[in-house]
Amino acid sequence: MNLLALLSSMPLESDQILSRLKYVRSARIARKTVYKGKLQGIDVILLNSGIGKVNAAHSATCIVEHFPVKSIINIGVGGAYPNSGLNIGDIAVASKEIYGDDGVITSKGWESLKKIGIPLVRTGNRRYFNEFPVHKKLPPRLIKTGRWDFKIRSGNFITVSATTGTHKRAVELEESFNALCENMEGAAIAHVCTIYKIPMLEIRGISNMAGVRDKRKWNLKLASENCQKFTLEVLSRAGRKR
């Protein structure tokens, strides 16, 4: 049996999907609860990793080592960059995963891990420093905006250890990486998936604008709900193709 793994950092980001799982069983793996069941005819496992790169990489590694995982979808909320064209409640789909603050601080500013010259991952002739690939883009008919009450855009995702707290920093990251949004887990999961040669997709609901730390202007609930709504449709279409 090949399994699709769904990873989110917090229960809020996956509670709707968990409520729709059928024939649910749970297990404890490395002190974390893994839920196993069927969703849209697909055999699924779901896990809340906790926030941050280490929790995300630990969780991804644990499920790959313990279960026959064929692919991973990382879901959750994220902060959109100022010129992304995204608003709170919209959906972003990753086209590339990038570590945004791993590297070297020089007299000229930040430089990527290529400055060190030692790749994080080497597979055959490929060397991976800050950037990791994700699964192919979603079908255009699925992301057609006319059928949704939110916008859907695809682009580069930045994973950071320190979330962006100023508009200036948000613009710097956006322009440096031509990025749509930021999060704290995606590149770490893509990193693990590259090691194990497992396809990975990341879908984020926009909960806030990067650089805006006024939580009165955030909407985690709406972002989580829309992300899960869209993910469920992705899985429904995948299930019909089986």
Tell me the one-letter amino acid at 28. R
| pLDDT class of 204 with cuts at 50, 70, 90 | very high
What was the pLDDT predicted at 30?
86
Contacts of 130 (CB under 8 A, 6+ apart): 98, 99, 100, 102, 103, 112, 113, 114, 120, 187
Instruction: Give the residue-averaged pLDDT of 192-201.
Output: 95
What's the CA gap between 148 and 134, in Å, rounded? 24
Q: What's the whole-model pTM score? A: 0.94
Domains of the chain: 3-240 (3.40.50.1580)
Residues 166 and 212 sit within 8 Å (Cβ to Cβ): no
d(CA 122, CA 23): 39
pLDDT band at 148 (very low <50, low <70, confident <90, very high): confident
3-state helix/strand/coil string of 39-80: ECCEEEEEEECCCCHHHHHHHHHHHHHHCCEEEEEEEEEEEE
Q: What's residue 108's pLDDT?
A: 82
Radius of gyration, CA atoms only, the chain: 17
Mean pLDDT value across residues 218-230: 97
110 pLDDT band (50/70/90 cuts)?
A: confident
Q: Can you give the pLDDT at residue 216? A: 92
Task: Band the pLDDT of 141: cuts 50, 70, 90.
Answer: low
